[in-house]
Amino acid sequence: MNDIEQAKAQVGTRAAAEVRSGMVVGLGTGSTTAYAIRALGRRIREEGLQITGVPTSYAAELLARAEGIPLRMPSEVEAIDVALDGADEVDPALNLIKGRGGAHTRERIVASMAYRFIVLVDYTKEVPRLGTRMPVPVEIMPFAMGPCIRRLEELGGTPVLRMGVKKDGPVVTDQGFWIVDTTFPPIEEPLELARAIGDIPGVLDHGLFIGMATDVLTATPEGDIHHRTRTR
């Protein structure tokens, strides 16, 4: 493992330690959260941990089933005790950019149902302002691609349709939509931008998660875990 992978494994294991028997747990998507899902699987096998998982993507579902985690869908649970997920950027106010894995719509649904939304990241994901390094993924109905791109440009963004790897054509989300990765200058008013993008007809969702995280666990270069909290 390189340093980044070690940090991801460390923070994934630490996040899994927040889970107790009897909990309903949101299972996020991405390489960092995958370590948390594997750690939960180990706890089930070694400690007898009893939980119900709610996956945010087909990929998370496959991994959770392989780890022996019983699963339910959001419509089958009334609430979620804790949701574990990663992020592409985290600012000092614990606002997030998510969506490099293309699962941000389902991740938002699961996070919104959770009493605690714990975000697990390595130290490279912390930024002074959202948009410092990463674009904002915007999930768009293919029929509305042209007008949505024009509106994103009017908001000051540079939108680029995300293309598939080892396949022809654009990436298609689990909802059958396309993703436009939109680069903005460092974002001064993330809540206003989130609302403006969400108001565009044809946009299903986007990667700005404002005021949703209750906890952020960051693996530092020194091997420590920095735990920040907020009340939402």
Query: H/E/C letters for each residue in 120-148?
Result: EEEHHHECCCCCCCCCEEEEECHHHHHHH
User: Looking at domain 136-203, which CATH architecture does it have?
Assistant: 2-Layer Sandwich (3.30)
pTM, to two decimals: 0.94
The CA distance from 21 to 47, in Å, is 10
The secondary structure of residue 157, as a DSSP letter, is -
Establish whether 67 is a catalytic residue.
no
Domain ranges of the chain: 3-126+210-222, 136-203
Domain at 3-126+210-222, CATH from 3.40.605.10, 3.40.50.1360, 3.30.2020.10, 3.10.20.30: 3.40.50.1360
Whether 3-126+210-222 shares its CATH topology with 136-203 is answered no
> Of the listed 107, 126, 153, 222, which one is catalytic?
107
Percent of the chain clearing pLDDT 90 (strictly above): 92
Instruction: Report, as an integer, the average pLDDT of 39-50.
Output: 98
- What pLDDT, on the 0 to 100 scale, is given for residue 1? 65
Of residues 2 and 215, the one with the higher pLDDT is 215
- Convert the pLDDT of each residue in 113-172 to its tens digit: 999 999 999 999 999 999 999 999 999 999 999 999 999 999 999 999 999 887 788 999
Please answer whether residues 37 and 63 qualify as being in contact, where contact means their C-beta atoms are separated by less than 8 angstroms: yes
